[in-house]
Amino acid sequence: MPDSQGRRIALGCEGSANKLGIGIIAHDASGAAHVLSNVRHTFVSPPGTGFLPKDTAHHHRAFFVRVAKQALRDAGIAVSALDCICFTRGPGMGGPLTSVAVGARTLSLLWGKPLVGVNHCVGHIEMGRAITGAANPVVLYVSGGNTQVIAYAEQRYRIFGETLDIAVGNCLDRFARTLEISNDPAPGYNIEQLAKQGGRVLLDLPYAVKGMDCSFSGILGRADELAALMRTGGKGPDGEDFTPADLCFTLQETIFAMLVEITERAMAHVGSNQVLIVGGVGCNERLQDMMGKMAAERGGSVYATDERFCIDNGIMIAHAGLLAYETGFETALEESTCTQRFRTDEVFVKWRN
Amino acid sequence: MAATPAAASEPQFPLPSILNNPASAPPLLIAQGAEGRLYKTTYLVPDLACAVKYRPPKPYRHPVLDVRLTKARLSSEAKVLDRCARDGVPVPALYAIDAAGGWMALEWIDGPPVRQGINDWLGARPETDTTHADEQVDQTPLVDLMRRIGTVMGALHRTGVVHGDLTTSNMMLRPWKDGQGQNEGGEGTVLDGDVVLIDFGLATQSQSDEDRAVDLYVLERAFASTHPRAEAYFEYVLKAYGKTFKKAPSVLVKLADVRMRGRKRSMLG
């Protein structure tokens, strides 16, 4: 039910990877979104290691109540003002997903509010559109778990291109482990900073684009080999010295060129000149810069958001969930399960024309 | 290559050095894709039309990477074309290449794309009740074209090349010379002509059933979305393909697998 000012309010719970996020959003009578709170707590593993599902799930369970309380305090609203509780159904890591779903179910039963299950990728896309105002862009969704080029057509977000193996963020995260770079605040962020000191040489890495799809595991393998070579004092293929910074620079230049290329191909295919970048890797300013150059050449522009909305957060789940809720969608308690595999194009997008 | 010219004499984009050569005819920008641009001009003599494919530098890419990719892609495309030409697969002849300069000059193929031929053919025929379509409308020339496509695909795969981007826009209908290969009765139709494959920008050399089946699948999907009314005729492409080379039947078996899974990949987080 809309409140006295015609607003609808939703609380969203996200925990498909190492970020636990809870946020509260309001849609006013005109449909505009207002962020009331956006709280996040990240599970950071030591350098050289990744986040394991078991530990991450434990982290989410341990912090759920604290983060939820903080989100309510920041929003300054009473529980009774909420219309629904939204949670991530997938895709993501099983353990962390189910931990957060248990939390969301508990809130739903405790406060007597309906549940709304949300596709994580659709959450990213809708949040990006709401924040940037991009009406109908080609979307590049790049994160630790996903790499997709998406365009909207007839009630679905269609996947035009995607990774054939690991996600681009996974490639960066694992290379950060190889170099034993800190995971705080995020491995990708630290690679980006280190890459700024590199750039004297561009080493030779494989380049794997197939139509609108791409592949990253071979590139990671070669980058790991070069890192091992560097540690033993070896030289590059042309006898040059190189540093971790040069490796980070090379990796970024190569994989981002691939992403921009497949995005450009999708834009040419659907005849669009707007591009929206979402997902954690979307924070990377070099990627935004390259995408901007490509879009400018096509007479268009790039839309990107900052870390508050790019990196996994609860507010995007609340926003996408509320959009669905407004069209009459609810997830019954018995059906409020999670799934590790949940394609973006499985969601029926009733709220768009 | 017979699309409407996008720009006349005044070039909208910087031209590759070859097209600034006063000896060649003024270039006509024919198409602009994500990869590059296609111009129509002449080669060596004023009456030999040619297509120049130009891959301009990408400003977003590191210059070292840009040069490396452009070079590798152009020379791989040239190798594939050469291989096809040697084995008699109908493709445009390669006239000249400057891999470092980012361009190649190819034989100009006259005639409409197959897409246009089929659309003209279907457009001239009323949409009939499909249950009686075969009785009412003689589709022999269309069936014939489908078989020619299948035969050309078979020839391509037999040489160890997969195209990577097969659509009816990437096939041309080169007009028959007078009296050659005409249907009985001598009446020409919009579907007449030799099928010539173009645009090998995404082609690779491969002999695996999987790659070949995916190549067929891509065409099948493109065909169904471009010509939904003629979808039922695609089987003639596959039937003709199955007779072209020894391994063709096993490719068709693989195609059934590929259809089942599509290109869909189950998403893991």
Q: Do A207 and B69 touch (CB under 8 A)?
A: yes
Is the pLDDT confidence value at B57 over 80? yes
pLDDT-derived band at B2, boundaries 50, 70, 90: very low
pLDDT at B26: 81
Q: Are residues B137 and B234 in the same domain?
A: yes
**Could you tell me if residue B79 is inside a domain?**
yes
**Could you tell me if residue B10 is inside a domain?**
no
Quick check: A215 and A167 in contact, CB under 8 A?
no
Q: Are residues B251 and B154 in the same domain?
A: yes
Q: Are residues B257 and B193 in the same domain?
A: yes
Question: Which one of A288, A291, A293 makes the best mutation probe of the B interface by having the most chain B beta carbons within 10 Å?
Answer: A293
**Could you tell me if residue B198 is inside a domain?**
yes
| CA dist., res. A128 & res. A139, Å (int) | 9
Please name the member of A17, A202, A268 whose beta carbon is closest to the beta carbon of B65: A202
Sequence length of chain A is 353
Q: Are residues B103 and B120 in the same domain?
A: no
Each residue's pLDDT tens digit, A329-342: 999 999 999 999 89
pLDDT at A327: 96
pLDDT at B262: 57
- Is A272 annotated in some ligand binding site? no
In this structure, the strands spanning A19-27 and A138-142 are: unpaired
Residues 6+ positions from A259 with CB-CB distance below 8 Å: A140, A142, A147, A168, A214, A287, A291
Domain end position, chosen among B64, B88, B107:
B107
Each residue's pLDDT tens digit, B7-46: 444 456 777 877 777 766 788 888 887 888 999 999 988 8
Of the candidates A140, A137, A125, A131, the one whose C-alpha atom is nearest the C-alpha of residue A291 is A140
Span B140-162, mean pLDDT? 95
Q: Are residues B86 and B118 in the same domain?
A: no
Q: Do B267 and A146 touch (CB under 8 A)?
A: yes
Let me know if B165 is a catalytic residue: yes
| CA dist., res. A223 & res. A177, Å (int) | 12
Span B129-147, mean pLDDT? 72
Q: Are residues B118 and B237 in the same domain?
A: yes
Each residue's pLDDT tens digit, B168-177: 989 999 998 7
Q: Are residues B92 and B200 in the same domain?
A: no
Q: Are residues B136 and B241 in the same domain?
A: yes
pLDDT at A237: 73
Q: Do A267 and B269 touch (CB under 8 A)?
A: no
Amino acid in the structure at residue B174? R
pLDDT at B269: 36
* Contacts of the segment B168-171: beta carbons below 8 A, 24+ positions apart: B168/B113, B168/B114, B168/B115, B168/B118, B168/B222, B168/B223, B168/B226, B168/B227, B169/B113, B169/B114, B169/B115, B169/B226, B170/B113, B170/B197, B170/B198, B170/B199, B171/B113, B171/B114, B171/B115, B171/B195, B171/B196, B171/B197, B171/B198
Name the burial class of residue A224, with classes exposed (0-12), middle (13-18) and buried (19+) by CB atoms within 10 angstroms of its CB: middle
- Is A246 annotated in some ligand binding site? no
Residue B185 belongs to domain spanning: 114-261
pLDDT at A285: 96
Each residue's pLDDT tens digit, A128-171: 999 999 989 999 999 999 999 999 988 999 998 899 899 999 99
Domain end position, chosen among B76, B91, B107:
B107
Enter the ipTM: 0.89
CB atoms under 10 Å from CB of B112, counted, come to 19
pLDDT at B172: 95
Span B245-256, mean pLDDT? 95
Residues of chain A with CATH 3.30.420.40: 8-126+312-346, 136-309
pLDDT at B225: 84
pLDDT at B61: 96
**Could you tell me if residue B5 is inside a domain?**
no
Question: Which one of A18, A119, A210 makes the best mutation probe of the B interface by having the most chain B beta carbons within 10 Å?
Answer: A210
| CA dist., res. B234 & res. B150, Å (int) | 9
**Which CATH architecture best describes the domain A8-126+312-346?**
2-Layer Sandwich (3.30)
Q: Are residues B229 and B122 in the same domain?
A: yes
Judged by DSSP in three states, A130 sits in helix
Domain end position, chosen among B79, B107, B135:
B107
Which CATH number fits the domain that encloses residue B63? 3.30.200.20
Each residue's pLDDT tens digit, A1-45: 788 788 999 999 999 999 999 999 999 999 899 999 999 999 999
Q: Are residues B80 and B31 in the same domain?
A: yes
Span B129-156, mean pLDDT? 80
pLDDT-derived band at B268, boundaries 50, 70, 90: very low
Q: Are residues B88 and B131 in the same domain?
A: no
- Location of structure tokens 């990949």: B265
Domain count of the fold of chain B: 2
> Hey, is the C-beta of B202 within 8 angstroms of any chain A C-beta?
yes
**Could you tell me if residue B9 is inside a domain?**
no
Is the pLDDT confidence value at B4 over 50? no
Residues 6+ positions from A52 with CB-CB distance below 8 Å: A45
Ranges A4-13, A208-217, B55-64: which has the least confidence: A208-217
Which CATH number fits the domain that encloses residue B164? 1.10.510.10
Is the pLDDT confidence value at B134 over 80? no
* Chain A residue numbers touching B267 (CB-CB < 8 A): 91, 146, 341-344
**Could you tell me if residue B245 is inside a domain?**
yes
Each residue's pLDDT tens digit, A295-314: 999 899 999 999 999 999 99
Q: Are residues B120 and B208 in the same domain?
A: yes
Give me the DSSP letters along A265-283: HHHHHHT--EEEEESGGGG
**Could you tell me if residue B2 is inside a domain?**
no
- Location of structure tokens 């579907």: B191
Is the pLDDT confidence value at B221 over 90? no
Say which CATH class A136-309 falls into: alpha beta
Quick check: A320 and A86 in contact, CB under 8 A?
yes
Each residue's pLDDT tens digit, B181-215: 555 555 678 899 999 999 998 899 999 999 999 89
Which of B94 and A237 is assigned the larger pLDDT? B94
pLDDT-derived band at B137, boundaries 50, 70, 90: low
Span B227-233, mean pLDDT? 90
